[in-house]
Amino acid sequence: MSVWALGINHTTAPLDLRGRFAFALDQIAPTLQGLRQSLGQGHEHRNVETAIVSTCNRTEIYCAGDQPALDHTLGWLAHSGGVSPDLLRSHSYVLEDGPVARHAFRVASGLDSMVLGEPQILGQMKDAVRAAESAGALGSTLNQLFQRSFAVAKEVRTSTEIGAHSISMAAAAVRLASQLFEDLGKTRVLFVGAGEMIELTATHFAARNPKSIAIANRTLERGEKLATRFGAEAMRLADLPDRLHEFDIVVSCTASSLPIVGLGAVERALKKRRHRPMFMVDLAVPRDIEPEVKQLEDIYLYTVDDLAGVVQTAQASRQAAVAQAEAIIDAGVQSFMHWMDQRDPQHGVVPLIRQINGQADAWRAIEIARARKRLARGEDLDAVLDALSRGVARKMLHGTMAELRNADATAREQTAHTASRLFLRSQSKKPL
């Protein structure tokens, strides 16, 4: 069994390219089915386990199968995003076996995030696992990989201070807004979307007591639910073009595949505002706000990549925590690879254990069937049970006894040593 992964993230690929490969949760199942179907067209890649982790900062495909298929997986992903395999390869990372586990553990622990130690990625990975399970694409190998990732992440977060000095994307947005507006208490803030990132960002802005807060969402009911938390107004996305001019700060993060806020809408809003500045943050991948908006005067537009420099602070104070986390991850990788080695069909012990258990079950079934026939004939119960136990014991010991009787001196000595260790364990214990 082999595991492999490929992906792009905020360190390897620009925002617009990442946007081509962003998958909403409801897209994961059909996407995984398409990937597995593509892999299954060749005889050597049937029944491949697959999972996709897709966030604003990364898209990663994890696979497990008898033989690695990195080139095929990369080609399929490139086709799905409408780019050439060479272009995708130049912005991606490909991993196999141990490095896959190390990467997954680092991602789950927040060590590979734009915000070091950020906790949201763990929930996003768990969502990805649930989506893969629902699609029937997750097998024992990938399930083991992800469950171990979650366990390692928990240990990292409880045993180190990896997230103690981090500045979140939400906090960074507030910091930048404060540089533009002297008093956030006089600003009107609009949040587009009602997901986890918007909820987090709204919490940070609400703490600065802005003049008003509004939540615009495609589903009004969900928007109203979030708005209630902050004493905010809920509005429909359809009303956004007519009301955009009312707001000084706009933060957007939706799962839309197309921009929600266009250049024309912002231009009209600026005219109504008489060119008073607007601060805009686009946390979505793909973009919610057309990139041309950034060229307008009086518009201060920031993307997730623009915020990267703001969040990379207090680096020195986190180095000790990073070193501790890496040590925990090293141990986790070794444990996972040991688990994988045990299941190797040629050299692992698990296939042998399964064969031994199967043989023992077959012998047991023979003796039980024989015992039932004797009971049906009315034979004594104790005699039948004695014969049953003797029959099973003889079958289990036959191979060992034959080796002891027939092997040459050297082989007999080795067999005797092994047999005594396996069957005479109670006698090897020292008396108390």
Residue 320 has pLDDT above 90, yes or no: no
pLDDT in the model for residue 114 = 85
149 close to 170: Cβ distance less than 8 angstroms: no
Q: Give the type of residue at 280.
A: M
Of 17-26, 96-105, 262-271, 304-313, the range with the lowest mean pLDDT is: 304-313
- CA-nearest of 260, 273, 254, 262 to 201 is 254
* 427, pLDDT greater than 70: no
Return all residues near 383 (Cβ < 8 A) that are at least 6 apart.
374
* Confidence check: pLDDT of 313 > 70: no
- pLDDT for residue 430 is more than 90: no
Whether the ω angle into residue 277 lies within 30 degrees of 0, i.e. cis, is no
Is residue 270 within 8 A of residue 299, CB to CB? The reply is yes
**What was the pLDDT predicted at 119?**
85
Of 116-125, 200-209, 219-228, 251-260, least confident by mean pLDDT is 116-125
| Domain 2-165+316-342, CATH class in plain words | alpha beta
Q: What would the pLDDT profile of 213-268 be if each residue is shown by its tens digit?
A: 999 999 999 999 999 999 999 999 999 999 999 999 999 999 898 999 999 999 99
What pLDDT sits at residue 347? 61
Mean pLDDT of 43-47: 72
pLDDT at residue 431 in the model: 46
Q: Is 213 exposed, middle or buried (0-12, 13-18, 19+ CB in 10 A)?
A: buried
The stretch 395-421 carries a mean pLDDT of 80
- Report pLDDT digits (tens) over 62-86: 999 988 999 999 999 999 999 999 9
pLDDT band at 402 (very low <50, low <70, confident <90, very high): confident
Look at 11-15, 21-25, 272-276, 400-404 and tell me which has the smallest mean pLDDT: 400-404
More confident residue, 309 or 171: 171
Sign of CA dihedral 74, 78, 81, 87: positive
| Predicted TM-score of the model (pTM) | 0.75
Average pLDDT of span 346-350: 63
Q: How much is the pLDDT for 425?
A: 67
Burial letters for 138-168: b for 16+ Cβ neighbours within 10 Å, e otherwise? bbebbbbbbebbbebbebbbeebebbeebbb
In DSSP terms, which residues pair with 289 in a beta bridge?
261
CATH number of the domain located at residue range(s) 169-311 in this protein: 3.40.50.720
> Residue 56 catalytic?
yes
CA distance 204 to 183: 15
Q: Which three-class secondary structure state does DSSP give residue 393?
A: helix
Phi/psi of residue 24, nearest 5 degrees: -70, 160
**Count of residues making up the chain:** 432
Instruction: Write out pLDDT tens, residues 137-167.
Output: 999 999 999 999 999 999 999 998 887 766 7
List the catalytic residue out of 15, 22, 48, 56.
56
- Phi (first) and psi of residue 236, to 5 degrees: -85, 150
Mean pLDDT of 109-131: 91
**Residues 156, 107 contacting (CB under 8 angstroms):** no
Phi and psi at residue 2, in whole multiples of 5°?
-125, 145
Burial class, 257, CB count within 10 angstroms (exposed 0-12 / middle 13-18 / buried 19+): exposed
Closest alpha carbon to 115 in 173, 51, 43, 45: 173
How confident is the prediction for the chain on average, in pLDDT? 89
If one compares 74 and 399, the residue with the highest pLDDT of the two is 74
Tokens of 175: 């910091």
